Structure 1
Amino acid sequence: MRILLTLVTLFLARVSFAQMSEIRGVMKNGTQKDISLFNVVDGKPEFMANTQLGEDGSFGFLFTPPNEGFYAVGYTKLEKGSLFPLYMKKGDKAELAIDKRWMQFVGKQTPENTILSSWTNLTQDLKVKSLYFIEPPLSTFKDFFPELTKVAAETDAFRKTIKTKNENFNRLMTSLTYFDLDYYALHFLRTPRKEHPKKEDYVPYYNSIVVGNKFKNDDVLSSLFGELLLNEYADYAEGRQTNIDERLKLFSTDKQKGIYTLFKMVPQIQSYPQYEGLVKSFGQYFTSPDLKKRVDELGAKLYITTAGGKAVDFTFSDQNGKMVSLSDFKGKVVLMDVWATWCAPCKKEIPYLKKLEEELHGKDVVFISISTDEQKDKDKWLKMVDDMKLTGVQLYAGGFANKVTDFYKIETIPRFIVIDREGKLVSPNSARPSDPKLKALLEAELAKTK
């Protein structure tokens, strides 16, 4: 199998090839044309590089790890279950095979990835049942709970096998066994299923999740799902308690508190004054270099995307293949809807959006809906536009990663954005059509003198 290795690191003249690490693999039975490499930073994947798959599905990355620890390869931005972890340090080599949602290490591995391979094999079915709920296997608690109980019972014995000469790995890997099981158990409860358990259906494992000083150090942030686990643990431990100050007491370090605060608060921060309030209230937790960088970038972006700033122009194709730009509608008020066919909350807003269009028919307002469906779902989008007789300007952005989602830092949808006649932002994150406030906002904007 010929593999074209993608060089991730730059300035190769300064880098010893002996220090470079190599990941080779093959993707079987998939429709993807590319694959990406990620580092794990602060408990979430951080993009490093992307490469096209060979005709036989082969791929390769040659890079110098910025740090020893967990990395991941994968192919979908939204579905973190499609990311597959490896442990890499300088000079390591790893080979793997990916078959849709399953991954297998192939051939001789480092001592670290030999252990990680065993853990992957032990937990892979549990991971799939927990993280995938939109498409088959559509697991319910009736098959997930027995699998969770089975894996949990085998994990103590597995932990005794973590005996490499690398003490750093031994510690992180042991911690990972707890974090993974907790995350799969908690995430399962949050996802829509055909059947949902009652509290009395929960298996005993759930009684072991909430403990004092749960995250006594920041090892949780070395795991692929670390950031998400902090959030889901706080929700599970505190229930309906929404006071963020009370939830922060669950965490042991400022870094954990900072990451949790950003995860919970950033989606609500839509203006520069709100950003200033965030820093004033929680700035003490944003002192690490990575967190400080994230906060500074958020502030810079909000400074130009707060109401009154210029909306980003874009050009996407409509359902007939015609290219359409935001600038085509200068002189009109614009309501922009960022959505996807797989997004239940997005589809829930469609009837309200249609009604709003009817009520404002003949007014100087344009309704633009931008689909973020991936290429594999483009036909599904076209069918929904036709079947549901969607009106307004229907555009296809080619995937979730696009100029609009990047500029407005959109991580959750639907997202509704109001733009004035001059192409300036009225609201970068407005109320939804189901909320009367949106109609009032549009009418107020339309009432302004041209």
Structure 2
Amino acid sequence: MRFIFTLAALFLAQVSFAQLSEIRGQMKNSTQKDISLFRVEDGKPVLIANTELGPDGAFGFLFSPLNEGFYAVGHNKIEQGALFPLYLKKGDKTEIAIDKRRMQFVGKQSPENTVLSSWNTLTQELKVKAIYFMEMPLSTYEDFFPELTRVSALTNDFRKSIKTKNENFNRLMTAVTYFDMDYYAMHFIRTPRKVHPTKDLYPAYYSSIIVDNKFKNDDVLSSMFGEALLNSYADYASGRTTNIDERLKLFSTDRQKGVYTLFKMIPKTQSYPQYEGLIKNFGQYFASESLKKRTDELGAKLYITTAGGKAVDFTFPDQHGKNVSLTDFKGKVVVLDIWATWCNPCKKEIPYLKKLEEEFHGKDVVFVSISTDELKDKDKWLNMVADMKLGGVQLYAGGFANKVTEFYKINTIPRFIVIDKNGILVNPNSPRPSEPKLKAILEAELAKPVAK
């Protein structure tokens, strides 16, 4: 069996080979052509790397873990395939064999993965019956409930056997035994089956799931199914209550509340005003670095793709050196023209822009052209402004990397942006002056009043 290793998130000049973790594996009886490596962040898998399988299904990953903890291998399209957990520290080596929905550790393992291997052996059939509800033959409560009862009867003894020298792992692994069992139990009854049991048929395990202060700390977010478990628990423990504020009372930390809130609210947050409402109502829960990053990325995405968000303010000098800001034009419709002297498509729009300026002369519309020329071409910009008698407001941003291009994630120019009289985005990627649609947009905005 030949292993072809993929280097994942690795700078060889900065990382010694003693710090590298190695995963070897073989995928059997699979139609997949590739396999992926994931880390766990905020209770869900985050893709690190992907590699093709060898002719015999062999694969390998060589990487430096960002932190000690749980990782996983599986299919990049998570909902279509299995994910198999591993516990890794810098320098660890592990080998696994995957056969469709089942995995086993091969050969000598680290003390941590030796324990994880035993847990995998104990719970694997329960996991398959609970999670892969499209398996054939289809699992029903008649075969799942006995397996849940059998495994749950053995879990306390298993927990007592977790005695490695790694106290951090011992704590997390003990917690994971509870998380996995709860998740499998709740996931089973949440997914479609041929027949569903009435509650009087539920085994005793279900009566143990709801407890006060269920998640005492954030260890649940180190678990591969942590985010999904929080959602399942909120549904299971809250009964018919759909009010998110009431559901948040089930969780113990702001980070747990933040993860759950984003899980529920991101699909419903489709515009920047909705994003602002999300931050206003739940922003106190997004203080961790990872959650703040997720909310910032969501906000940036909505600014770019939707109307209704606040336009970013800026201050740039004009050709005379006078600083001009977007807020100077409150009460007027603003057309931003992001351009450069080296950009031929930008220069082709200039005659159309001049014509549009003439048509709206004397009306509450201002055309603001922002040059992204680098410092070495500033004189070229100044000369073009003078020689071509460019109208409107001409500003110099000092280079392509500036507040406007970064905020709107502008990669190509020309880019035209329409802002209403109140500083709200009308169209963050509007038609160009050569397109009649831009004139129609401006006429429609002029007809609207300024908000008081």
Pairwise TM-score range, normalised by the shorter structure: 0.5 to 0.7
Q: 2:218 aligns to what?
A: 218
Q: What displacement does 1:135 show?
A: 3.5
Pair 1:38 & 2:46 matched: no
Q: What displacement does 1:134 show?
A: 2.3
d(CA) in 2 for partners of 1:207 and 1:424?
54
Pair 1:5 & 2:5 matched: yes
Q: What displacement does 1:9 show?
A: 2.9
Evaluate the alpha carbon distance shift between residue 195 and residue 154 of structure 1 in structure 2; reply closer, same or farther with a 3 A threshold. Answer: same
Contact 1:6-1:61 within 8 A present in 2 as well: yes
Evaluate the alpha carbon distance shift between residue 124 and residue 81 of structure 1 in structure 2; reply closer, same or farther with a 3 A threshold. Answer: farther
d(CA) in 1 for partners of 2:134 and 2:170?
35
TM-score (norm 2): 0.68
Q: 1:47 aligns to what?
A: 47
**Structure 2 portions without partners, runs of 5+:** 310-408, 410-426, 431-443, 445-452
d(CA) in 2 for partners of 1:125 and 1:424?
52
Evaluate the alpha carbon distance shift between residue 137 and residue 79 of structure 1 in structure 2; reply closer, same or farther with a 3 A threshold. Answer: farther
d(CA) in 2 for partners of 1:135 and 1:195?
15
The 5 Å alignment of 1:39-188 reads 39-79=39-79, 82-188=82-188
TM-score (norm 1): 0.68
1:117 alignment partner AA: S
The 5 Å alignment of 1:256-405 reads 256-307=256-307
Evaluate the alpha carbon distance shift between residue 233 and residue 81 of structure 1 in structure 2; reply closer, same or farther with a 3 A threshold. Answer: farther
2:73 alignment partner AA: V
Q: What displacement does 1:110 show?
A: 0.2
| Residues 94-126 of structure 1: CA deviation (Å, up to 9, x unaligned) | 000000000000000000000000000110000
| Residues 294-328 of structure 1: CA deviation (Å, up to 9, x unaligned) | 0000001111222589xxxxxxxxxxxxxxxxxxx
Contact 2:273-2:308 within 8 A present in 1 as well: no
Q: 2:240 aligns to what?
A: 240
3-state secondary structure, aligned to 1:12: coil
Q: 1:194 aligns to what?
A: 194
Q: What displacement does 1:230 show?
A: 0.3
3-state secondary structure, aligned to 1:149: helix
State percent identity of aligned pairs.
74
3-state secondary structure, aligned to 1:14: coil
Contact 1:76-1:82 within 8 A present in 2 as well: no
Aligned length: 315
CA RMSD between the two structures = 1.9
Contact 1:308-1:424 within 8 A present in 2 as well: no
Q: 1:16 aligns to what?
A: 16
d(CA) in 1 for partners of 2:14 and 2:65?
14
Q: 2:326 aligns to what?
A: none
Contact 2:47-2:76 within 8 A present in 1 as well: no
Evaluate the alpha carbon distance shift between residue 252 and residue 81 of structure 1 in structure 2; reply closer, same or farther with a 3 A threshold. Answer: farther
| Residues 156-183 of structure 1: CA deviation (Å, up to 9, x unaligned) | 1111110000000000000000000000
Q: What displacement does 1:78 show?
A: 3.6
Evaluate the alpha carbon distance shift between residue 252 and residue 131 of structure 1 in structure 2; reply closer, same or farther with a 3 A threshold. Answer: same
Contact 2:30-2:99 within 8 A present in 1 as well: yes
Q: What displacement does 1:423 show?
A: 13
Evaluate the alpha carbon distance shift between residue 308 and residue 132 of structure 1 in structure 2; reply closer, same or farther with a 3 A threshold. Answer: same
3-state secondary structure, aligned to 2:59: strand
Q: 1:366 aligns to what?
A: none
d(CA) in 2 for partners of 1:81 and 1:204?
30
3-state secondary structure, aligned to 2:13: helix
d(CA) in 2 for partners of 1:423 and 1:214?
45
Evaluate the alpha carbon distance shift between residue 4 and residue 278 of structure 1 in structure 2; reply closer, same or farther with a 3 A threshold. Answer: same
2:113 alignment partner AA: N
1:282 alignment partner AA: F
| Residues 226-260 of structure 1: CA deviation (Å, up to 9, x unaligned) | 00000000100001101111111110000000000
Contact 1:8-1:62 within 8 A present in 2 as well: yes
2:235 alignment partner AA: D
Higher mean C-alpha deviation, range 130-139 or range 287-296:
130-139
Q: What displacement does 1:81 show?
A: 6.1
Contact 2:10-2:64 within 8 A present in 1 as well: no
Contact 1:81-1:131 within 8 A present in 2 as well: no
Q: What displacement does 1:77 show?
A: 1.8
3-state secondary structure, aligned to 1:119: helix
Contact 2:286-2:292 within 8 A present in 1 as well: yes
d(CA) in 1 for partners of 2:211 and 2:306?
41
Q: 1:249 aligns to what?
A: 249
**Structure 1 portions without partners, runs of 5+:** 310-406, 408-421, 426-447
Contact 1:258-1:285 within 8 A present in 2 as well: yes
| Residues 111-153 of structure 1: CA deviation (Å, up to 9, x unaligned) | 0000000000110000010011224131111110000000000
Evaluate the alpha carbon distance shift between residue 55 and residue 102 of structure 1 in structure 2; reply closer, same or farther with a 3 A threshold. Answer: same
Q: What displacement does 1:80 show?
A: 7.4
Considering only CA atoms, is the larger Rg found in Structure 1 or Structure 2? Answer: 2
d(CA) in 1 for partners of 2:91 and 2:266?
38
| Residues 383-403 of structure 1: CA deviation (Å, up to 9, x unaligned) | xxxxxxxxxxxxxxxxxxxxx
1:145 alignment partner AA: F
Q: Give structure 1 regions of 4+ aligned residues with deviation exceeding 6 angstroms.
A: 422-425
d(CA) in 2 for partners of 1:273 and 1:102?
45
d(CA) in 2 for partners of 1:199 and 1:258?
31
3-state secondary structure, aligned to 2:168: helix
2:137 alignment partner AA: P
1:147 alignment partner AA: E
| Residues 394-440 of structure 1: CA deviation (Å, up to 9, x unaligned) | xxxxxxxxxxxxx9xxxxxxxxxxxxxx9989xxxxxxxxxxxxxxx
3-state secondary structure, aligned to 2:71: strand
Contact 1:34-1:52 within 8 A present in 2 as well: yes
Evaluate the alpha carbon distance shift between residue 40 and residue 80 of structure 1 in structure 2; reply closer, same or farther with a 3 A threshold. Answer: farther
Q: 2:230 aligns to what?
A: 230
1:287 alignment partner AA: A
d(CA) in 2 for partners of 1:170 and 1:135?
33
2:210 alignment partner AA: V
2:264 alignment partner AA: K
Contact 1:23-1:95 within 8 A present in 2 as well: yes
d(CA) in 2 for partners of 1:129 and 1:135?
8
3-state secondary structure, aligned to 1:91: coil
